[in-house]
Amino acid sequence: MSTVRYYRATCGSLYRVTTTPSTQTRAASCLQARRSLLARVFSPDYPTHPAEVARLVRIGSFVEVPAP
């Protein structure tokens, strides 16, 4: 089952991070999509690494927010 979390970046953009665990037929994945302050929809998903998301949270560039 996928986990979706939302983060507000210091620039004001909203990021959606979707983490999917591995299965017998598919490797684990971590994807993110960005929505700027003026946009109504998220950009297409693109790959990221969970460690990079954790680093951005740790240094304060990302703050987790409730789902919009």
- Domain count along the chain: 1
Phi-psi region of 47 (alpha: psi -120 to 50; beta: other; left: phi over 0): beta
Tens of pLDDT, residue by residue over 6-21, are: 999 999 999 999 999 9
What pLDDT does 1 receive?
84
- Residue 32's domain comprises 3-65
Burial class (CB within 10 angstroms; exposed 0-12, middle 13-18, buried 19+) of 8:
middle
Global pTM? 0.90
Determine the Cα–Cα distance for residues 16 and 18; give it in Å rounded to an integer. 7
Using CA atoms, how far residue 2 sits from 14, 45, 59, 67, in Å, is: 19, 14, 25, 15
Tens of pLDDT, residue by residue over 12-68, are: 999 999 999 998 898 899 999 999 999 999 999 999 999 999 999 999 999 999 998
